[in-house]
Amino acid sequence: MQTKKSFKQESYKVTGDWGRQSTFLQGQYPELTDDDLEFEEGKEGELIRRMEVRLNKKHDEVVNIIKKGQLQTL
């Protein structure tokens, strides 16, 4: 019998100035478009999914990228 691995994806809440953060992220990852980085409050999951696809990275990797961007723009 095959079992599925259960894991919890880290949820993330965008804080601070997303405009500055998205500009920083586009500088670090030029493949990200304005559409990829469009953010509506409470819809972090959609933002992360778009970034996962564009960057070909896993959820946790994208969350870490966003967190680093947040720290750089403080």
Phi, psi of 26 (to 5 degrees): -65, -35
Is the pTM above the cut of 0.85?
Answer: no
- Taking only the tens of pLDDT, the chain with its 74 residues reads 555 544 556 678 888 899 999 999 999 999 999 999 999 999 999 999 999 999 999 999 999 999 998 888 88
Phi, psi of 55 (to 5 degrees): -90, -10
Domain borders along the chain are 18-72
pLDDT at residue number 6? 46
Contact 47, 14 (CB under 8 A): yes
pLDDT at residue number 8? 57
